[in-house]
Structure 1
Amino acid sequence: MAGIKALISLSFGGAVGLMFLMLGCALPVYDEYWPLFVLFFYVLSPIPYCVSRRVTDDTDATSNACKELAVFLTTGIVVSAFGLPVIFARVHVIAWGACALVVTGNIVIFATILGFFLVFGSSDDFSWQQW
C-alpha cells in the first residue's frame, strides 16, 4: 500500500509541475509557448541514469565511471532546463513572470523525478525496473 501512496503523491507532484509550466505559457498576460521546449529536458533527464543502471554490473563499488558519467550528463540536462527559460527571458522572447513560473515548474518536476528514483529505485520487491 505504501507504493500506491507514493505513486499517487508523485503523480500529483508531476501534475502541479506541469500546471506551473502551462501557466507560464498559456496565461493571457504571457501568451508565448516557447517554454514548452523544457518538456524535452523532462524526458531526457532520467535516460542517462537508467542506462547506467542497466550497464553496470557491480553496484557495491564506491566509484564507477559509468554512474559518474550518468550523473554528469543528468546534471547538464537539468541545468539546461533551468537555463533555457532564463535565456528566453533575457532575449525578451518570454516575460520574466513566465520565466518564474517555468522555473517553479522545473523545481517541482525534477523533485518529482528524483522522488520517483528514490522511492522506486531501491532493490525491494516493488521496483521501477520490473516495469
Structure 2
Amino acid sequence: MTMIKALISLSFGSALGLTFLMLGCMYHTYWPLLLLVFYALSPVPYCISQRTVDHDTDVPSNACRELAMFFTTGIVISAFSLPTVLARAGVITWGSFALLLTGNIVIFLTTLGFLYVFGSEEEDQIVL
C-alpha cells in the first residue's frame, strides 16, 4: 500500500511541476518548453551508473557514480539557468521566470523522490 501512495504522490508532484511549466509559457512564448529536455535527461546518468556499479563491494563511492552525479548536477544547473538567461534577454517575463523556477523545484524534487523510492535494491519493490 505504501508503494501505491508513493506512486500517487509522485504523479501529483509531476503534474504540479508541469502545470507550473505550462503557466510559465502563458505569454505566447514557448521557449521554456525546452526545459522538458532537461527533465528527461536528469535521471539518465544516475540510472546508467546504477547499472554499471558493482554492488558487492562496500566502497561508498566510485568514479562512475561520481561522474554520474557530476553530469546530473550539470543538467540540473542548466535547467535553472535557462529561465534566467531567457528572462535577462527579455524573451520571457519575470513572472514566467518565477513560475518556471517553481516548476523546476517541484519537478526535480519529484525526480529525487522517485530515485529515492525506486532506487533501492529491495526485491519486494515494483520494477518499472
TM-score by length of 2: 0.95
Aligned to 1:92: 90
- Corresponding residue of 1:45: 42
Output one character per residue of 1:66-105: Cα deviation in whole Å (capped at 9) or x when no partner: 0000000000000000000000000101111101101100
What is the count of residue pairs matched by the alignment? 126
Structure 2, unaligned stretches of length 5 or more?
none
- 2:99 is aligned to 101
Aligned to 1:17: 17
Counting aligned pairs with the same residue, the percent is 64
Other structure's SS at 2:120 match: coil
Letter in 2 for 1:36: L
Q: CA deviation at 1:57?
A: 1.1
Question: What is residue 125 of structure 2 aligned with on the other side?
Answer: 126
RMSD: 1.0
The equivalent position to 2:53 in structure 1, one of 51, 56, 59, is 56
SS at match of 2:25: helix
The C-alpha deviation readout for 1:8-49, integer Å capped at 9, x for no partner, is 0000000000000000102xxx22111000000000000000
The equivalent position to 1:67 in structure 2, one of 65, 68, 71, is: 65
TM-score w.r.t. length of structure 1: 0.92
**1:60 and 1:10 mapped to 2: Cα distance?**
31
